[in-house]
Amino acid sequence: MTQPRQQHSDPQPDAAHSASRWEERYASVEQLWSGRPNDWLPELATDWSPGTALEIGCGEGADVLWLAERGWRVIGLDLSATAIGRLTRQAERLGISSRVTGRVHDAGDGLPAGPFDLVTSFYVHGGTEPGSLDLVALLSDAAARV
């Protein structure tokens, strides 16, 4: 099994620092994103039969909510407790909270076991900088959950 977090001997920002940055970003505004699902999701998945889904880096949950409104059971992962709180409240307002699970979670710590019928990750951040998520490893791990 591959490890999503890169290992470096240089000093690196830890997960708590990254989570803190995202938490500050979400907490600084009432709504950070548009509230609409990523354009690719409806384009690709409108006709798919509902099943179980995992959304990595779900933010305030527009993709999670879109899927759940169509009958999917969805787990949304994000570093920000504020973002997950917004997802959870919106799922309750829409009457779909029984199909939505929001988790404050660092994808670099691994992913839920699955299996899932669909795994999405439109906006997870990573890169080559020390402490960043290894996106190739993360997406390979995500694909193994399907």
| pTM greater than 0.85 (yes/no) | no
Averaged pLDDT for residues 40-56: 94
Contacts of residue 115, defined as CB under 8 A and 6 or more positions apart, other chains included, come to: 52, 145, 146
Task: Please give the Cα distance from 107 to 22 (Å, whole number).
Answer: 14
Question: Who has greater pLDDT, 124 or 67?
Answer: 67
pLDDT over 70 (residue 86)? yes
pLDDT over 50 (residue 1)? no
Determine the pLDDT at residue 107.
85
Q: Treating both helix axes as pointing N-terminal to C-terminal, what angle do 81-94 and 62-69 enclose, rounded to 10 degrees?
A: 30
Determine the pLDDT at residue 92.
98
pLDDT confidence of 134, banded at 50, 70, 90?
A: confident
User: For the segment 21-35, what is each residue's pLDDT rounded down to a tens digit?
Assistant: 767 776 777 876 666
Question: Who has greater pLDDT, 69 or 39?
Answer: 69
> What domains are there in the chain, each with its CATH number?
36-144 (3.40.50.150)
- Which of 76-80, 112-116, 134-138 is predicted with the least confidence, judged by mean pLDDT? 134-138
